[in-house]
Amino acid sequence: MRFQTPLIHGTLIKRYKRFLADVRLDDGTEVTAHCPNPGGMLGLKDPGLSVWLEPNDDPKKKLKYGWRVAQLGDGTFVGIDTGVPNRVVKEALLKQQVSQLVQYSQILPEQRYGKNSRIDFLCRQAGLPDAYVEVKNVHLLRGDGWAEFPDSVTARGTKHLRELSQMVGQGYRAVMLYLVQHMGCDKFKLAQDIDPTYASAFRAARDVGVEMLCYGCTVSTSEVVLDRELPIKVG
């Protein structure tokens, strides 16, 4: 998934009200950018952080910049836009890059299911059970290469796990795909201390047959693309 316009570098002044970030561009101009991430953003919202913004000239948008990428002190790129994973996964599914789902030729995004919910992708193929695929963005790293999810309490995420479990009970495949947008990570585990309810729902869903997958991304200032599958710590 390539960014539509070249990203512009700046320095984070502050992130506030969840969806706003004040940034000082390299030319000294201070702008307010849309922060497309409602999560905790632990370690990714400190003043002085190197950030990359995508400008736009859309007259319908009040803010003319969107925050897309953070760059840590060691140069590591981290994608912070929670809307990016679905676009990355859609490309990967269509190109048959997710090995567990290569047998499906029909990829349908945003299909209704469960109780007032929409599944990120419904994969279909004649002769096979439908596969319901939910995608979650991951960018929390607290040490030793471990990507962790979630970075804040997520009742919505817990609801999705329970609805995926129901799909398994109805004879379908259900897949939870965690997409890691942090290039410093090489493995995945649950942040049980942040949301123990989600961790419990994860284990219950896994035990009834929900398939748990994790893939990393290559993140740069020009694109975000699916990389390799990452191991998941069970327990």
Can you give the residue range of the structural domain that contains 221? 84-229
Same domain, 109 and 63: no
CATH number at 71 reads 2.40.50.580
Is residue 2 domain-resident? Answer: no
- Whole-model pTM: value is 0.95
Q: Cβ distance 114 to 166 under 8 Å? A: yes
Q: Which of 16, 47, 79 is the last residue of a domain?
A: 79
CA 118 to CA 112: how far, in whole Å? 4
Tell me: the pLDDT tens digits for 159-206? 999 999 999 999 999 999 999 999 999 999 999 999 999 999 999 999
- Domain co-membership, 157 together with 192: yes
β pairing state of 131-138 and 117-124: antiparallel
In a domain, 24, yes or no: yes
Same domain, 53 and 12: yes
Whether residues 170 and 124 share a domain: the answer is yes
**Ranges of the chain whose pLDDT falls below 50:** none
> Which residues lie below 8 Å from residue 116, measured CB to CB, with a gap of 6+?
none
Confidence at residue 116, expressed as pLDDT on a 0 to 100 scale: 80
* Rounded distance between C-alpha atoms, residue 150 and residue 137, angstroms: 9
Same domain membership, residue 183 and residue 141? yes
Unique residue bearing structure tokens 């009834």: 208
Q: How far is CA 56 from the centre of its chain?
A: 22
Q: At residue 116, what are phi and psi to the nearest 5 degrees?
A: 55, 40
Do 75 and 88 reside in the same domain of the chain?
Answer: no
Structure confidence at residue 235 (pLDDT): 66
**47 in any annotated domain:** yes
Same domain, 91 and 58: no
User: Are the C-beta atoms of residues 215 and 230 closer than 8 Å to each other?
Assistant: yes
